[in-house]
Chains A and B, each alone.
Chain A
Amino acid sequence: MEQLPAAPAVPVQSPALETMSFTGKSGEYFRIWIVNLCLTVITLGIYSPWAKVRRNKYLYRHSHLAGASFDYHADPVAILKGRLIAVSMLGLYLVTSTVLPAVSLLIGLVIVLAVPWLLVRSRMFAMRNTSYRNVRFRFKPIYREAYKVIIGQMLLVIITFGLFYPRFRYARSRLIVDNTAYGTLDLKLGDQVDASEFYGIYLAAGLLFLAVFLLAGVPLMTLGSGGADPDTGVDSSFVWRAFVPTAVLVVLYLLTYYGLEAAVMRLILRGTSVGDHQLRCDWSLVKLTWVQATNLVAIAASLGLLIPWATIRLQDYKLSKLRVAVQGDLGAIAAAEAEEVSALGDEIGDAFDYDFGL
């Protein structure tokens, strides 16, 4: 086992480092994915919540920590109900946006105002239906704070033309982590994690994007600026000029996006503790960006058939570099009182593709 850094002041005994692991196999998962996709297709989408539960059960149960696995418990019928509401709202929005733009503006506003509520509901649903060692996770119904952080800070982001965004991201992450619990243990984002680290990540990503763009992108674009082909009269440099900058920008943007998201996630995971148990995250940002970028290429080139392979590959890397410094006994954590949460928020969030990530 690796040498531990200097121990904090209080510890009674040195923690045991447990590495997470993932045992899912891409062939096995592909078959589950395709069979459930097929059932979804021939039932015109009705089966899709059952497919989602089935896939998640596979992924969760193959995720291990200290000899025990996670599990996913969502009720497909609850997901189906939420999804029907989400789809009809989306349909209403699409139809009105073409027929009555004024009404669709109103619907859009309602949706924006509902975002904090949806965030809380979707976290509650997701956490309630996740378990480890038969103890459920929880998210607290903190609607008031959610509105304060999401709407209030979002306004500040708009007023400052986005300069406030890393701070908003920090506040949202803290809101989510600090209000999550595993049984009776509260999750906590350490006080050492603050907004300045989020600013650091966004600044680094921005500078990296600019540097690569200037060093590699610009010379690429000035290539092939010849005139029209004398034989055909076709000016191929026009295609070149139109295509290459777009392609370079898209690739650069994607790489920066993956790298930035990985850096933010790593920062949050490293700062998170569950009770006395501290998370450790050893992701390499370069490796994780590479895995995600090549996943995207593989998915696009295989017309989606490699989605299961990509999912397994990503999950495998993420979990293999995630450790928990366990303080004491993982088998003595009490469960909390149970409460039911409907799938409404979760699925509406899905349909409008709002990023409820950390």
Chain B
Amino acid sequence: MRGLLYSSDSSARREVDVAVLPTGNLQVRDGRDVQSWLLADLTIEPRLAGVPAVVMLPEGGRLEVADADAFYAALGGGRMRWLHALEEHWALALVCAAVSVGVVFWFVTYGIPLAARVAAELMPDEVHDLVGREGLAAMDRYLFEPTELAIGRQAELQLLFADVVSVLGNEDEYELRFRDSDAFGPNAFALPSGIVVLTDELVALADDDDELAAVLAHEVGHVVHRHAMRQLIQNSVAAGLIVAVTGDLGSATNLAAGIPTVLLNASYSRDFEREADESAFLYLETRGIDTAELGELLVRIDEDAGRNPGRATLLDSHPASRERLEVARERRP
């Protein structure tokens, strides 16, 4: 076999004859000058399609053999021959494509949510409390004003909340806070520490307390299932995963990588909303209230958002309210 022998200390090279001897030696001959190494002392690079075989010599030299077929055949395949074999066949490449898509799909649909649920359960209460407290403090600084609800009305709603917790709650602590927020408008949400926030605007928008009970039950559902913390973990893991996969791919694809992240996060939060809706239905059914109460308030929040399009609404990532109203109506006995 013809080969090119590169010097270890300069860019010089010369043409040589290469032979793999039955004694387990690699012999390189340039006219009368013969060099020989034990194969075990050499770094024979794994085979790569379309390029010469590459051997790194112990003293820093380099040998290239253009006829890679013959060279690797003489070696009996060489190190990591399975990799080159995999890379040679279109059928195997297609299998790899299918496996990659399948594993990624499974991991994203089940793996990440499962890991997030386990992690949220195992996380000490102190962490949940800290995240909830810090989160509310930050929102108080930028988004919220103190509530303007009358003390009596607040007490009524606290009683309602206590009733919801008595039906749905577990051993955790729950707390209802009132806030006025023009930025959020009519809204309610749950923080990891068991704090549920209800805005004055939502209290004003509701026709009766059954509707508010439905919303509170929905939020307590979020707390029971630790959705806020799970969402936090899932989104972080998904972002990290996308960085890990695309980190290699080059900056041109980063733009394209942002889209799946957004879609993924929206899809996760839709699942959580459905789960919280189930909690709300459970409460409403226990108390013999029409399950449609939840859906009707949701539709009204949507209409309000339509009138104030500039308002950020937490419902942006929720399943379509109309669809949820349909589900709520179907649940009627």
Contact = CB atoms under 8 A, between A and B. Distances in A.
Interface of A: 23-25, 28, 30-32, 34-35, 37-38, 40-42, 45, 48, 51-52, 54-55, 57-58, 61-62, 68-69, 71, 87, 90-91, 94-95, 98-101, 132-135, 183, 254, 292, 295-296, 299-300, 304-305, 307, 310-311, 330-335, 338, 350-351, 353, 355
Contacts of B61: 134
B51 A61 contact: yes
Interface in B7-56: 7-13, 45, 48-51, 54
A305 B51 contact: no
Contact of B13 (A38, A51, A68, A101): A68
Contacts of B130: 99
> 8 tightest CB-CB pairs across the interface, nearest first?
A134-B6, A38-B96, A133-B11, A134-B62, A333-B11, A61-B51, A31-B93, A94-B236
B60 to A, nearest CB: 8
26 contacts: A28-B87, A30-B93, A31-B89, A35-B92, A37-B100, A38-B96, A38-B97, A42-B103, A45-B245, A57-B45, A61-B48, A61-B54, A62-B50, A71-B54, A87-B244, A94-B236, A134-B7, A134-B8, A292-B252, A296-B256, A304-B253, A304-B256, A331-B12, A335-B10, A351-B243, A353-B247
Contacts of A350: 247-248
Contacts of A310: 252
Contacts, number: 144
Interface in B107-135: 127, 130-131, 134
Nearest to A330: B11
A351 B248 CA distance: 9
Contacts of B49: 28, 31-32, 58
Nearest to B259: A300
Interface residues of B, number: 53
B138 interface: yes
Contact of A98 (B131, B244, B253): B131
B240 A90 contact: yes
Contacts of A52: 248
B104 interface: yes
B155 interface: no
Contacts of A62: 50-51
A133 B13 contact: yes
Nearest to A134: B6
B134 A134 contact: no
A101 B45 CA distance: 48
Interface in B185-209: none
Nearest to B127: A99
Contact of A134 (B11, B87, B243): B11
Nearest to B93: A31
B86 interface: yes
Given A42-B103, A296-B255, A35 B87 contact: yes
Given A34-B93, A38-B97, A41-B103, 14 more contacts: A25-B50, A31-B90, A35-B96, A68-B13, A91-B236, A91-B240, A132-B11, A133-B13, A134-B7, A299-B256, A304-B253, A307-B253, A335-B11, A353-B251
A90 B243 contact: yes
Given A35-B93, A48-B248, A62-B50, A334 B103 contact: no
Contacts of B83: 35, 54
B239 interface: yes
B104 A41 contact: yes
B88 interface: yes
B249 interface: yes
Contacts of A133: 6, 11, 13
B56 to A, nearest CB: 9
A33 to B, nearest CB: 9
A299 B249 CA distance: 11
A91 to B, nearest CB: 6
Nearest to B14: A331
Contacts of B183: none
Nearest to A183: B11
Nearest to B49: A28
A100 B134 CA distance: 7
A31 B87 contact: yes
A38 B54 contact: no
B254 interface: yes
Contacts of B252: 292, 295-296, 299, 310
